[in-house]
Amino acid sequence: MLRKIFADPSRCANYYENLGEVTPNSYFHAGVSCGLSGQSPAAESWFRRYLAIDDNRPFVLEKKARVRELLAKLVDEQAFKSNVRSSIIRTRELLRLPSLADWPF
């Protein structure tokens, strides 16, 4: 079921756009999925919502730094995708997961 919903970035972006109640963590994921599907204005909006969160816990501040980094990349779609792809590769390596042969973006 989830693999169908999140089969590609556009479907994922659509999921977040139609989600009733969104959490701050959803703002981040919606921003990434919109950015990957070429919807830069929507991605910027989601990212700015995350940055507006009034929370100074270390993990939130760390994610805010990541959001600022991604916001700066939105002007160049390929740079944005490359940045996200690198992050996924790094995470998969740390989790000792196999590398992806085919990327949906």
99 belongs to a structural domain: no
38 belongs to a structural domain: yes
Tokens representing 48 are 């700015």
Tokens representing 10 are 């556009």
Query: Domain total for the chain?
Result: 1
Q: Which domain holds residue 18?
A: 2-94
Q: What is the pLDDT of residues 5-61, one digit of tens each?
A: 555 666 656 666 766 667 888 889 889 989 998 999 999 999 999 999 999 999 999
Token pair 């977040």 in the structure block, residue: 16
CA angle (86 as vertex; 81, 91 as ends), nearest 5: 125
Question: Residue 24's pLDDT is what?
Answer: 86
pLDDT average, residue stretch 90-100 = 91
35 belongs to a structural domain: yes
Cβ distance 89 to 99 under 8 Å? yes
Q: Band of the pLDDT at 77, cuts 50, 70, 90?
A: very high
Cα within 13 Å of Cα(3), Cβ side: 0
49 belongs to a structural domain: yes
